Structure 1
Amino acid sequence: MIPNDNFRFIALDVETACGDPASICQIGLACVWPDNRIYTFSTLVNPGTAFDAFNIRLHGIGPDHVRNAPRFDEVLVLLFPVLSRHHLVQHSNFDKQAVNAASRTYGFDAPDFHWIDSVTIARRAWPELKGNGGHGLGNLKKVLKLDFHHHDAGEDARAAAQVVLRAEAYLGVPFDRIGNPDRKALSRHD
């Protein structure tokens, strides 16, 4: 069921069919309610393009899975009302690039969403991970003991939301202050 509530923020993740960022074949959302419960939603998307074998091996989604799935433009129209009124968390800049590229492919302007990067948030909360496995979801899964299936858009979105919630708890600072690019550094007592 498509979320249409008021959330603190929404984490968004996409999987793509090939090296073209516009080739979105799955969109996942992790919607965080004011009490920090997480509602996860995902949908397959027919990218209207060929799949690369590498991508299929990575996420397990192939042409047969998306044959009857809606196209990106159809999904965007349904999700736009909820996405446009929330901060969107992505784990790296890829998801924003993919959404913008897919929007342009279907003749839309890039949506003016309010993006925040959970990699930036993780770097501010756990700077010691730089050079020690890094701040990717794979390493954060191990370090923060997160339980999720990597390279599934709904699961990765939920993991990004959990990274943000853990960083908020660790630093005692709300996500929008941690993720603000104008902030130089935060300490646990900021």
Structure 2
Amino acid sequence: MAVINARALPTGPFRFIALDVETACGDSGSICQIGLACVGADNQIETWASYVDPEQPFAAFNIELHGIGPDTVARAPTFPVIWEFLLPFLSMHHLVQHSNFDRRAIAAACKVYCLPSPDLSWSDSVRIARQAWPEFKGHGGHGLGHLKTALGLEFTHHDAGEDARAAALVVLKAEARLELSFEKIAETNRKAQMSFLL
């Protein structure tokens, strides 16, 4: 059996956790990498990432996009293994995704493996960015590619850990720009078990 990334998960609780996935092909459930960026009370970010064996063929387009292929995931855990490891940790925190793709991918992967649909607390950093920088609409937009340039972010696009960190940075910069806390701009009434107890 493949083992999960030996580096332990960051120690929480955290204000929120940004999550990003990469997929092997056009099937949104074909997760081949998952990354987390955990934001502490002091706004320091701790990242964690692992490759995932999607047990599906890789498409050439996806390999070209993120550089992950069959050899990369040859000894990686499958989604059920890594999800059993991550779910208790994620359930205790509020999650951020940049667009709705990551939430859909998690739900799709759970469906592929006949796992229960996860009941998690989510916000979208694209929506948060639209609040903070409405002037970007029609002038590059609010995707991570444009935000990287416009906000001076440094990260490697299409790496799950790096994209998760970028989403977390977008939220932190939005908090500063709007002079509002994450709780005020998260656009949800749902709170995870521990996120806001700091």
Pair in the same fold by TM > 0.5? yes
- Residue 41 of structure 1, CA deviation: 0.4
Q: Which residue among 54, 77, 101 is the counterpart of 2:61? A: 54
Q: Which residue among 127, 134, 145 is the counterpart of 1:138? A: 145
Tell me, in whole angstroms, the C-alpha distance in 2 between the residues paired with 1:37 and 1:3: 12
Tell me, in whole angstroms, the C-alpha distance in 1 between the residues paired with 2:128 and 2:17: 15
Q: Give the 3-state SS of the residue equivalent to 1:139 in structure 2.
A: helix
- Residue 3 of structure 1, CA deviation: 2.6
Structure 1 gaps, min length 5: 183-190
Q: Give the 3-state SS of the residue equivalent to 2:128 in structure 1.
A: helix
Tell me, in whole angstroms, the C-alpha distance in 1 between the residues paired with 2:104 and 2:183: 21
Q: Give the 3-state SS of the residue equivalent to 1:161 in structure 2.
A: helix
Do structure 1's residue 68 and structure 2's residue 72 form an aligned pair?
no
- Residue 181 of structure 1, CA deviation: 5.7
Q: Give the 3-state SS of the residue equivalent to 1:146 in structure 2.
A: coil
- Residue 125 of structure 1, CA deviation: 0.3
Q: Which residue among 75, 80, 84 is the counterpart of 1:77? A: 84
Do structure 1's residue 103 and structure 2's residue 110 form an aligned pair?
yes
Length-normalised TM-score, structure 2: 0.90
Length-normalised TM-score, structure 1: 0.94
What RMSD over aligned residues (CA atoms) do the two structures have, in Å? Answer: 1.0
Do structure 1's residue 91 and structure 2's residue 98 form an aligned pair?
yes
Tell me, in whole angstroms, the C-alpha distance in 1 between the residues paired with 2:77 and 2:33: 10
Q: Hey, what does 2:196 align to over in structure 1?
A: none
List 4+ stretches of structure 1 deviating above 3 A. Answer: none
Structure 2 gaps, min length 5: 1-7, 190-198
Q: Which residue among 37, 50, 63 is the counterpart of 1:30? A: 37
Matched residue count: 182
Q: Which amino acid aligns with 2:116?
A: D
Which sits farther off after the overlay, 1-10 or 160-169?
A: 1-10
Q: Hey, what does 1:185 align to over in structure 2?
A: none
The percent identity for this pair of structures is: 62
Q: Hey, what does 2:134 align to over in structure 1?
A: 127
